[in-house]
Amino acid sequence: MRAPHPHAANDPRAPAIEVRDLRKNYGDLEVLKGISVTARDGEVIAIIGGSGSGKSTFLRCINLLEQPNSGQILISGEEIKLKTSHRGLEPADRKQVERIRTNLAMVFQGFNLWQHMDILHNVIEVPVHVLGQPRDQAIATAEDMLRRVGLYEKRHAYPSFLSGGQQQRAAIARALAVEPSAMLFDEPTSALDPELVGEVLKVIKDIAGEGRTMMLVTHEMAFAREVADRVIFLHQGRIEEEGASDQIFSAPRSERLQKFLHSIR
Ligand code: ADP
Ligand code: MG
């Protein structure tokens, strides 16, 4: 048995993300039924599963966009302080939540760019207005990030003038600009036309190759197999199976996972 608090906060040996027995209900609907996952530093974890299995809810709880009913979440060894309220557990320390949320960049299926700002301003918004970085420095970082995702030339364009693939790459540049300790992706290519999926996957693969900790919900199984160290298969709010990505895809053990993989091939 592991001790409940094996590492001090921000201990470099602590896992990047550790979730213990996370539960979440919406009313009577139990969506997460006790999920425990540990992402070591630099590990890429793919989360797969059918629609409604709880994948988005899981990521949203880690990022505190949703309030779990019970469980613990530790980011780099720092436990997110939660307190009991009539709605379940809610963050007890707003400042901590803000800090942790900016440290865990999330990329959504629908990009979620600010439409009234050009791409560069989308990328510098949080660094300047939340993290208090000097503007010049934030712009220099943003330009670097936009170069990395191949969008430097588009930095003065507004989101609506970009393709979906470009918008998602801009959203990834924005996520990278806060130098997150881990990145959470929720079906980053599901809203894209098929011909635009590849350019976004390539950017994600490059970032994964830099040794960033990632949790990635995806339906792109070939991609998951290629970039993920480990795969978690969720079924009705439980981890039905998890393992090294090769094992999961070439030798799935559970019948449900076999069926799932068969259904999406
Ligand atoms: P997935 O991302 O795996 O498709 P979700 O996490 O989005 O699954 O949803 C899991 C379940 O929780 C689904 O049954 C969904 O309808 C339900 N759900 C998600 N968000 C809400 C909400 N805000 N209120 C009520 N039910 C929700
Ligand atoms: Mg989802």
| Paired tokens of 86 | 């009539």
Distance of alpha carbon 251 from alpha carbon 260, whole angstroms = 13
What three-state secondary structure class fits 40? coil
Q: Looking at the chain, which residues constitute the CATH 3.40.50.300 domain(s)?
A: 13-103+211-265
| Paired tokens of 160 | 């609506």
Which class is domain 13-103+211-265? alpha beta
Burial environment of residue 159 by CB neighbours within 10 A (0 to 12, 13 to 18, 19 or more): buried
| Paired tokens of 252 | 């799935």
Distance of alpha carbon 99 from alpha carbon 185, whole angstroms = 19
Residue to mutate (ligand 1; options 31, 67, 186, 218; most atoms within 8 A of CB) = 31
For residues 122 and 176, the answer to whether their CB atoms sit within 8 Å is: no
The H or E element spanning position 198 is helix 194-209
Altogether, the residues listed in the chain come to a count of 265
Ligand 1 binding residues, C-beta < 6 A? 26, 29, 31, 49, 51-57
Per-residue pLDDT of the chain (265 residues; tens, 9 = 90+): 444 445 555 566 789 999 999 999 998 999 999 999 999 999 999 999 999 999 999 999 998 889 899 999 999 888 988 888 777 778 888 888 888 888 889 999 998 999 999 999 999 999 999 889 999 999 999 999 999 999 999 999 999 999 999 999 999 999 999 999 899 999 999 999 999 999 999 999 999 999 899 999 999 999 999 999 999 999 999 999 999 999 999 999 999 999 999 998 7
**Residue nearest atom 5 of ligand 1, based on CA coordinates:** 54
